[in-house]
Chain A
Amino acid sequence: MVQYLLMKIFRALVTVTLIVSAAFVVLRLSGDPAIIILGPEAPPEAFEAFRRNWGLDQPIWVQYFKYFVAVAQGDLGNSMRDGRSALVVVGERIPLTLAITLPALFIKLAIGLPAGVVAALYRNTWVDRLIMMLSVAGFTVPSFVLGLVLAMIFAVWLGWLPSGGSDTWAHAVLPTVTMGLVGAAVIARFTRSAMLEVLGQPYIRTASAKGLLWRNVVRSHALPNAAIPTLTIIGFLVGSLVAGAVVVESVFSWPGVGRLLVNAVANRDLAVVQVILLLVGLTMVGANLAVDILYGIVDPRLRIKRLQAGS
């Protein structure tokens, strides 16, 4: 198990290094932070001074080397916009993002899982079609469209909720619901597919033939077996908790990590982008690891396979 975990961590480190390297090269080659941050009307001397100050006048391989040396020493750099530590800049946004992504995850699971199971159990009935119709709608309508429509209804027409900002808990409702509904649609579709596959398996027929009540067949045989693919998608959603709200945060002016990422990329504020990518990478890796461990708990066959492979 330890060897398995070490291998996972090693792979994760390689993945994160590749992500950070790719981001470095792409951001450095595709835009000049000096002009973007200071504006196109700033004097040329200001651009030169800015570039000199941040080492942007050096060859890219020198910048890359210095960046990795600094990261290895625990220095993730400063924001080029205001000079503050990139870690601090990102860190102060994380609680705000989690304040909407965590409850959104709850909504996704609370609606998506039962909807998917019910759709599968009532396959090809009006219940299934209704759930799938809503699911496809939620899946295909872009979150920024859904967000604007919800804002139009609940903020502009009904006046029940604020349309944007982050001043009170009420401001969190619309972004949370928007993300929750879109995510629930995804989970419902995955859960339905997983359930349908399981319900078609011989052991389900066997269990039914033994005379087990249908609800017991579903609870004891179908649901645990359908949990594996569903866990995979849930792991992905958990992994995207930190930066998965880019669009919704922009639509609702929610000052979280997602909006910071958009601004940082637009400004080519590399240190901030890199910290966010590292954070997202680590969250994804952590979530995947947790899902891997959960696979073993949910399905003992996988645990045994791993033990056999390790021995």
Chain B
Amino acid sequence: MTHSRKLKGAMLIGAYLLATTMLTMPGKALAEDRPVITVAVQQIVNAGALDVLREQSNVGARVFYSIFETLIDYDRQNADLPQKPGLATEWKRIDDKTVELKLRPGVKFHNGDVMTADDVVFTFSKERFGLLDEQDNARKDGKTLFTASASTAVGGKVPPAEVAAVAKRAWPNLDRVEKVDDMTVRFVSTVADPTLEGRISRYGAEILSKRAYEEAESWLAFAQKPVGTGPYKVVEFKPDNILVLEAHDDYWGGKPPIKTLRFAVVPEVASRVNGLLSGEYDFITDLPPDQINTVESNAAFEVVGGPITNHRLMVFDKNNGPMQNPKIRQAMTHAIDRETIVETLWDGRTTVPAGLQWSYYGDMFLSDWTVPEYDMELARKLVQESGYNGEEITFRVLNNYYTNQVSTAQINAESFRQIGLNVKIEMKENWQQIFDKESGPRMVRDWSNSAPFPDPVSSIVNQHCQNGQQQQVGEWTNEEFNALCIKLETSTDLEERRASFRRMLEIAEREDPAYTVLHQSAIFFGKRKDIEWNWSGLQSMDFRADNFQVVAPGN
């Protein structure tokens, strides 16, 4: 090779390196005493936009707490998840339908505006929810498939239809949010609502900047770079790739401890673990239990995490085949060895809960309630009493949509066979196939339920009552249960509510099983050991100063 050819070769390589760098290099943080922290996540948000009313998955909760805040917050690192002041410093009941809140003074949005009652009123307005008639009409006009963005629901200030639907569901009885003065607001319900404080604190009730929303080009533009009050502001968001947040130094809770917080999408578990161990990432999320030892075998890293406000369930369709007989469903609930599942598949790092409820329900938590006991003899007896004649029971399962889903299904199916049931696992690719009625009778499937605020309304009512998914897809219904749903939602008498909830659990978990709780879901994070940081049962990642500290910088 001649000298000039070598030179050409070197130039070509140099040009490639330069081009690659230019294509891929993000803006570098300037010298700064605070660290740049990278969190490797399986996904930033499923719905592709940073809108709490569109993103209904638990993955979004991880990132949103850094950007947005609610009026009433939780002590998120406390296992009991007690409520605490957030953007409101105090609140009081005016009557059964009304809660008044005093806003925290001096709270600044990422755009520098000071938060006032106007922002709160706007956040819960029909306009923001996409419920105005003109927004509805605009959506109807743009119903055409695959048209340009200007004529679809995401064009202009019209949120997609699902945002309106989620808002309606989150606030079924909200009449209005009214401004009392600049720093005082009132939430007024159309009916007596004992859950109003809970709803105000829930995921989906985060306060937005009115001015930023109105100035944004479109709903989508705002949802790509939303303006909230959280400790970090959005700098760059590329769905499926990266979310870059920067410290919001005017944050009311003190200067954030991290200069740049990056959430990088790393879909493969092995790649996330490799990246953590090689120092590429400071945190990794969605670590399955079988990878915990791999991370902890390195002294520089540790795993934190545990049970969250989500339970794994097995759900029954009572309309088909042997499932019509409640004794078969009861037998199944008694044939599940929940403790063994928790010990073997979860290494004992989660728990078997007391039915579809969480201790953070406070006064509404029924501490003496339990899941059906594991009793194979009782289960066999119930099968015999049912007159079961060996008909096939299909159990539809997704390929580990939930952690350990397939292993759990296999263990349970084997138990069901041991009590004499002819259970067949059907692997499905997606939720449509799970719900599909055409491909065969639906009988048993997997699911999980969250409790976005501390009241049974947030879970058993939202998911299993008349408007909940299970009844909406036609899997199960019960007249007495449905009457109790209304009582639980509207009664303000604590004892009456507790009694209603207890009876609902008796019906849905014991007498006419709609579902059975398997175990509490759990999440695990791998992290640098030199970072002091605690996880939250609400699944949010908190990077505020009181929950993040590098104890041995430079490693």
CB <8 Å contact, A163 and B165 = no
Interface secondary structure of B, over-half rule: mixed
B266 within 8 Å of A (CB atoms): yes
CB <8 Å contact, B271 and A81 = no
Partner of B160, one of A42, A53, A156, A271: A53
- Residue on B with the closest CB to A92? B238
For chain B, give the interface size range: 35 or more
Partner of B220, one of A82, A99, A167: A82
| A153 to B: closest C-beta gap in Å | 10
CB <8 Å contact, B166 and A255 = no
CB <8 Å contact, B280 and A99 = no
CB <8 Å contact, B165 and A41 = no
Partner of A41, one of B279, B432, B450: B450
**Chain A residues whose C-beta falls within 8 Å of the C-beta of B169 in the assembled complex:** 43, 45-46
A54 within 8 Å of B (CB atoms): yes
Considering only residues 45-86 of chain B, those with a C-beta below 8 Å from chain A are: 46-49, 54, 56-57
- Residue on A with the closest CB to B13? A103
CB <8 Å contact, A82 and B49 = yes
CB <8 Å contact, B280 and A163 = yes
CB <8 Å contact, A259 and B267 = yes
B111 within 8 Å of A (CB atoms): no
Considering only residues 145-172 of chain B, those with a C-beta below 8 Å from chain A are: 145-149, 152-155, 160-162, 164-166, 168-169
CB <8 Å contact, A96 and B23 = yes
CB <8 Å contact, A152 and B266 = no
CB <8 Å contact, A156 and B146 = no
| A11 to B: closest C-beta gap in Å | 26
Can you sample 20 A-B contacts with CB below 8 Å? Answer: A30-B433, A31-B430, A34-B162, A35-B435, A39-B47, A42-B166, A46-B56, A49-B165, A53-B162, A58-B145, A78-B152, A81-B239, A82-B48, A156-B274, A164-B271, A165-B266, A251-B270, A253-B264, A253-B266, A255-B240
CB <8 Å contact, B430 and A37 = no
CB <8 Å contact, A79 and B48 = yes
Bound CA span A156–B298, Å: 11
Mask for A16-38, Cβ within 8 A of B = 1, else 0? 00000000000000111011111
Mask for A129-155, Cβ within 8 A of B = 1, else 0? 000000000000000100010011001
Interface residues of B (CB under 8 A from A): 16-17, 19-21, 23-26, 40, 46-49, 54, 56-57, 139, 143-149, 152-155, 160-162, 164-166, 168-169, 220, 223-224, 238-242, 264-268, 270-271, 274-275, 277-280, 429-433, 435, 447-450, 462-463, 467, 469, 472-473
- Residue on A with the closest CB to B472? A44
- Residue on B with the closest CB to A79? B48
A159 within 8 Å of B (CB atoms): yes
Bound CA span A102–B12, Å: 12
| B205 to A: closest C-beta gap in Å | 16
CB <8 Å contact, A165 and B166 = no
CB <8 Å contact, B19 and A263 = no
| A72 to B: closest C-beta gap in Å | 12
Mask for A75-97, Cβ within 8 A of B = 1, else 0? 11111011111000000000110
| B455 to A: closest C-beta gap in Å | 17
